[in-house]
Amino acid sequence: GAVVSQHPSRVICKSGTSVKIECRSLDFQATTMFWYRQFPKQSLMLMATSNEGSKATYEQGVEKDKFLINHASLTLSTLTVTSAHPEDSSFYICSASRGFYGYTFGSGTRLTVV
């Protein structure tokens, strides 16, 4: 149980286009989801906190107009990278809160902008 599905696992897009990444909790309701970015051989950097039915809270330095987050239901949060540029290439991971049990993570999305 407690599975978080993240799609796509890999995506290549052209510079200037937008990419949407989906994060779904399959067997539990997730009031809160989190989006992280991870550079090679580095730790996870929190980008934003997504609460169902309300606006996302972004961490300092994260452009909210570039990284659009929508959490329209208790099982789905999406991250849209708008007008992507090569510097946005990274590994993006979502996670869903399960209270004390910690967080269940999606399998991640490797974004390459060419």
Q: Enumerate binding residues for another protein (CB under 8 A).
A: 31-32, 34, 38, 41-44, 46, 49, 51, 91, 93, 95, 97, 99-103, 105, 107-108
Cβ closer to another protein: 18 or 112?
A: 112
Q: Nearest approach, Cβ of 111 to another protein (angstroms)? A: 13
Q: Are strands 109-113 and 57-58 parallel, antiparallel or unpaired?
A: unpaired
Q: Nearest approach, Cβ of 68 to another protein (angstroms)? A: 19
Cβ closer to another protein: 59 or 63?
A: 59
DSSP 86: G
Residue 5: CB atoms within 10 A of its CB come to 14
Q: Nearest approach, Cβ of 5 to another protein (angstroms)? A: 12
Q: Nearest approach, Cβ of 45 to another protein (angstroms)? A: 8
Token pair for 24: 């779904």
Residue 38: CB atoms within 10 A of its CB come to 15
CA 101/CA 112 separation, integer angstroms: 33
For residue 111, the cross-strand partners are: 11, 90
Cβ closer to another protein: 32 or 75?
A: 32
